[in-house]
Amino acid sequence: MHWRRFSFLVILGFALTIFSFACTNLNREATQTPQTPTTQQTDKPQISSLPPQTQEIVKSAGANDLFYPPRGDVRLVAISDLNSAYGSTDYDPEVDKAINLLPFWQPDMVVCSGDMIAGQKKSLTEAQIKAMWAAFDNHIAAPLRQANIPFGFTIGNHDASGAKKEGNFVFEQERDLASEYWNNPEHDPGIEFIDKSQFPFFYTFKHKDIFFMAWDGSTHRIPPDKLAWVEKALASPQAQQAKMRILLSHLPLYAVAEGRNKFGAVMANADELRQMLEKYNVHTYISGHQHAYYPGHRGKLQLLHMGLIGSGPRALIGTQVPSAKAITVVDINFNSPELTTYTTYDMKTLELIEYKQLPRFLTGHNGIVLRRDVEYKDLKAEEKAACVDKIGEQFCQNQ
């Protein structure tokens, strides 16, 4: 009897142990399931799986691992202002470093806010300009094509300036050669065009529910007929039914950098253009030319002023130290109210550039720009007074 009872208790205990183990595992699975969609950990590539030149750059970040941002529904890597001195067929090391690091981030697309070559000089010959586009192809475009990464861009003043004199383009040859390079089927940027009829100057494309427009912001004025095209494209069902709209322009709406805080270095009629873009719910205006990173906003429009990776970084308005050479990873989450998250890397040190390292607002000649995380209502009375003192009441308003 005793032996039978003992056996029964042993079997019961064994069964309970298995049952409880199974329940624990079920519970663990149940609590883990909701976390599965978060891809931030699993998405980070194994360093050993990356190309040797990428591994080398990642390792150069030192003991602190190179930061890998949580991946959005769509990931863009934004670059800008790649050129060195006039006529140059070479690039600063940060350009090659950025391109070689792309496998680490695995972007869905690379976007560029202009100045890919070093033109805008009348004495440059056709052969020299072609050699610059060949160098661009070699350093930037060909590696992107080989990696099957689409490239969306806008032209800058050093690529194909739209400056006019007596009704004619001053740099007509540069514009023709830029057009020739980009319309060569061998240089297909791999994007899904919507309207390619004026490519590469004014065009639209889409990527995973995002509508993109590139306009010719190589000069400060957009002619009325081109502006009519811009409005028509932004009002189109394809633009309006997209989950987000992004504009690529070389010149920004408002000034952010010392030395570029002047008429001609920003779009003319910035407030009018902004109101038009706000009307069509453009979310982000990505720009270059000022050579200083500043994640800003004004009214309802996000203003991503790109740092450069080429030559000649500039100090933000009111500061002395030139901005770091930088690139920005833009992660887009369609369900997030903010839509975008920026992760900006100093391309020399690979350290992150945080918002708090930058001024809370900038007072350029044609209007205030607020840092992305600062709301107008949060400005202190003395900050508003300092703005009014510098640029006057009308340029210090939020609208």
Residues in a beta bridge with 78: 111, 328
Element of type H or E holding 344: strand 340-346
| Cis peptide bond N-terminal to 37, omega within 30 | no
Query: What's the closest the beta carbon of residue 260 comes to Fe ion, in angstroms?
Result: 9
Output 157 or 302, the one with its CB closest to Fe ion: 157
Q: Which pair of tokens denotes residue 59?
A: 């390792």
Q: Which pair of tokens denotes residue 379?
A: 């400005």
Residues in a beta bridge with 292: none
Residues 156-175 that bind Fe ion (CB under 5 A): 156-157
Q: Is 115 in the site for Fe ion (CB under 5 A)?
A: yes
**The one segment of 95-103, 132-140, 220-228, 289-297 that binds Fe ion by CB under 5 A:** 289-297
**The one segment of 110-118, 202-210, 340-348, 373-381 that binds Fe ion by CB under 5 A:** 110-118
- Out of 289, 297, 305, 314, the residue judged to bind Fe ion by CB under 5 A: 289
Query: What's the closest the beta carbon of residue 297 comes to Fe ion, in angstroms?
Result: 22
**The one segment of 31-39, 260-268, 284-292, 382-390 that binds Fe ion by CB under 5 A:** 284-292
Output 133 or 211, the one with its CB closest to Fe ion: 133
Q: Is 207 in the site for Fe ion (CB under 5 A)?
A: no
Q: Which pair of tokens denotes residue 37?
A: 């969609």
Number of residues forming the site for Fe ion (CB under 5 A): 4
Query: What's the closest the beta carbon of residue 311 comes to Fe ion, in angstroms?
Result: 11
Output 153 or 211, the one with its CB closest to Fe ion: 153
Three-state DSSP at 351 gives coil
**The one segment of 36-44, 112-120, 317-325, 385-393 that binds Fe ion by CB under 5 A:** 112-120
- State the Cα–Cα distance between residues 292 and 317, nearest whole angstrom: 9
Give the sheet arrangement for strand 244-248, strand by strand.
192-198, 202-207, 210-214, 244-248, 284-287, 301-305, 294-298, 367-371, 361-364
Q: Is 260 in the site for Fe ion (CB under 5 A)?
A: no
**Contact between 171 and 158 (Cβ < 8 Å):** no
User: Rounded to 10 degrees, what is the CA torsion of 105, 301, 309, 79?
Assistant: 40
Query: What's the closest the beta carbon of residue 299 comes to Fe ion, in angstroms?
Result: 25
* Strand pairing category for 340-346 and 326-332: antiparallel
Output 249 or 363, the one with its CB closest to Fe ion: 249
**The one segment of 9-17, 138-146, 281-289, 310-318 that binds Fe ion by CB under 5 A:** 281-289
**Contact between 246 and 113 (Cβ < 8 Å):** no
Instruction: Name the phi and psi angles at 343, rounded to 5.
Output: -125, 110
Which parts of this chain interact with Fe ion (CB under 5 A)? 115, 156-157, 289
